[in-house]
Amino acid sequence: MYGLIHSAARQMVLDQLGAEAWRRVLQRAGFDDLHFINGEVYSDEATFALIGAIVDENGIASDTLLFEFGRYWIGFVATSAFANAMAATGDDFVSFVDGLDRLHRSVRTAMPQARMPSFEVLSAIGGNVEILYVSERAGLDNFVAGLLQGLLEKFGARGAISYARADDGVVFSIALEARAAA
Ligand code: HEM
């Protein structure tokens, strides 16, 4: 995966645990450099080794870490070089998720080797939203749940997120909380 992802992980560890913790994480994961290059591609094995090392440093479950990293990513990219692309993707939760593939396609011009996932809003009826997530990678479902949680928060919404495997991917169901009448 592109180093932008690793840079976000680095910033999260620095924010939450500090510089010494980040040094230990790199050592555990077998990296020498303190920084990652945003535009360079690292193997998925290296990415998962980094996540594993953060889990060990943190002492939390990997599902929890992936969820928290998903939430963190939403704030991270909103202040990155891709802030404009984020801002142009949608004005509410459902239209944003609907625009995610377009967003990733626009990112691909800067990162042509990216293997992007796809998201499809299957239905959005009466506060219940169903989203199909398709990826060639396994093990990122809790990351996606955290991303969706981060998007809900971005739009000032709340909802319960659950997911289940389907034949063609993973279906995320979000039961949006009704907003209090103004
Ligand atoms: C401007 C904002 C964004 C940028 C620059 C971006 C960029 C990327 C990049 C570079 C990758 C890795 C692909 C690779 O290296 O092979 C990726 C993967 C991914 N992105 Fe985004 N992304 C953005 C926003 C989002 C948002 C808002 C979501 C919310 C659902 C999302 C969901 C994912 C997921 C789940 C993956 C994991 C790849 C997989 O499932 O195989 N991204 N993105």
Domain assignments of the chain as residue spans, ordered by start: 3-59, 89-176
**What is the mean predicted confidence (pLDDT) over 64-93?**
96
- Average pLDDT of the chain to the nearest whole number: 95
Indicate whether 34 pLDDT > 90.
Answer: no
> Token pair for residue 105?
């396609």
Q: What's the pTM?
A: 0.96
Q: Is 100 in the pocket of ligand 1 (CB under 6 A)?
A: yes
Per-residue pLDDT tens digits for 97-114:
999 999 999 999 999 999
Q: Give 169's strand partners.
A: 166
Q: Greatest CA separation found in the chain?
A: 54
High-pLDDT (> 90) share of the chain, %: 95
Indicate whether 178 pLDDT > 90.
Answer: no
Nearest CA to ligand 1 atom 10: 2
Q: What is the distance between the alpha carbons of residues 131 and 163, in angstroms, rounded to a whole number?
A: 9
By CB atoms closer than 10 A (0-12, 13-18, 19+), residue 100 is buried
Q: What homologous superfamily is domain 89-176 in, according to CATH? A: H-NOX domain (3.90.1520.10)
**Which atom of ligand 1 is nearest to 116's Cα?**
13
Nearest CA to ligand 1 atom 30: 147
Q: Is 111 in the pocket of ligand 1 (CB under 6 A)?
A: yes
**Which atom of ligand 1 is nearest to 97's Cα?**
30
Per-residue pLDDT tens digits for 122-137:
999 999 999 999 999 9
